[in-house]
Amino acid sequence: MDFFQKLPKIELHAHLNGSLSNSTLSELHVLKYGKEPATERDESFYKITAGQNLTLKECFQKFKYAHDLTDQPETLAYATRAVIRDFAVDNVIYLELRTTPKATYHMTKTQYLTTVLETIRQAQKDYPTVTVKLLPSIDRSKGLQEATENVSLVLEMHQLYPDIIKGMDLSGAPYGTKFSDFATILERAKVRGLKMALHCGEFPDDDEVWEMFQFGTDRIGHGTFIGGSNLKFAKTNRIPFECCLTSNVKCSTVKSYEDHHFKKLWKAKHEVCICTDDFGVFDTSLSDELRICSETYGLSTQDILQLQENTIEYTFASEAEKQQLTKLFDLFKNTLKDN
Ligand code: IMP
Ligand code: ZN
């Protein structure tokens, strides 16, 4: 195992249905359809392969393949467990997973969320090296009625699983929607103490970014197009950016790794962390993302350690959990000294 693999890692931005590996997709296909998928179908429907030049809009189409496979409780539970296992194998010690509760032909939204939460609870016993939290998502493209229903459901479930549900995510294709319409809906969760991890500045719209800051997002998902006074505000108020390098390059919201905004954020000492977004769709891992980060922007081993240690502070974990993560991290640093 190399340094990046061995490093205890913190993942704060991972969508469940975007985090299915090839083997998990095949297994889900067998579970649902009783046979393996054709490989090319698998690749072209779900993964973004090297050299593909897709727009953000086209990238959103990719999730349909996974959504079809996880539309029943059995396959959804299987997928959730596989994602947690894959992060644990990559030595992720703390994971905040996101997913949008969906009503399908086979289950209600309540069943969807309960399945994910129960699977997380069980996985905590089977994969004890990774602590898992859930940030249920609002998918902007599904409209206000869905958003309202999802917040009500999340508040209900929060009472049953307060140790797992720690916040909410706003994501999905943003086209033709306004954040201000979702703000009052999300406010209901905010006042109940749920943290907010909003996709923010994923496309150029300074006014919307400012509205999200006024609303009070606790972290910034991507933040690709944040500049000027908004950038200053983020720095002054120490709002962490969740940077997803490969995701942004493959969705063409940044030209190349070299052009990624992580570079300027790191240099200007913003609060920033590295995440995968959708490791299945983008064919990556958190270890790979940290390796790319180190190699592209010249971060030393010490810098990478600092980056991960800082990330503990950006989690929505309790103070006791943060202390435990720091302890694990210190143990790892000691093993480096000994070698
Ligand atoms: P799910 O919520 O578990 O179904 O995960 C997949 C969903 O996450 C997609 O359908 C999108 O709504 C959302 N998503 C994944 N990546 C992104 C992103 O980069 N921007 C916005 N939304 C995203
Ligand atoms: Zn995302």
Q: Indicate the SS3 state at residue 188.
A: helix
**What spacing in Å lies between the alpha carbon of 62 and ligand 1's midpoint?**
10
- Check which CATH number belongs to the domain holding 89 and give it: 3.20.20.140
Q: Is pTM, for the whole model, over 0.95?
A: yes
pLDDT in tens, the chain (339 residues): 699 999 999 999 999 999 999 999 999 999 999 998 887 777 778 889 877 878 888 889 899 999 999 999 999 999 999 999 999 999 999 999 999 999 999 999 999 999 999 999 999 999 999 999 999 999 999 999 999 999 999 999 999 999 999 999 999 998 899 999 999 999 999 999 999 999 999 999 999 999 999 999 999 999 999 999 999 999 999 999 999 999 999 999 999 999 999 999 999 999 999 999 999 999 999 999 999 999 999 999 999 999 999 999 999 999 999 999 999 999 999 999 877
For the CA of 102, the closest atom of ligand 1 is 4
- Strands 241-243, 219-222: parallel, antiparallel or unpaired by DSSP? parallel
Domain count, the chain: 1
Ligand 1 pocket mutation, candidates 15, 99, 141, 225, criterion most atoms within 8 A of CB: 15
Task: Report residue 290 as tokens.
Answer: 């940290």
Rounded to a whole number, what is the distance in angstroms from the first to the last CA of the chain?
14
Domain that holds residue 31: 2-338
11 is catalytic: no
Tell me how far apart the alpha carbons of residues 220 and 241 are, in angstroms, rounded to a whole number.
5
**What spacing in Å lies between the alpha carbon of 134 and ligand 2's midpoint?**
14
**What spacing in Å lies between the alpha carbon of 99 and ligand 1's midpoint?**
8
Would you say 242 and 12 are in contact if contact means Cβ atoms under 8 Å apart? yes
Per-position DSSP letters for 272-329, written without gaps between them: EEE--B-TTTTT--HHHHHHHHHHHHT--HHHHHHHHHHHHHHS---HHHHHHHHHHH
pLDDT of residue 56: 86
pLDDT of residue 1: 64
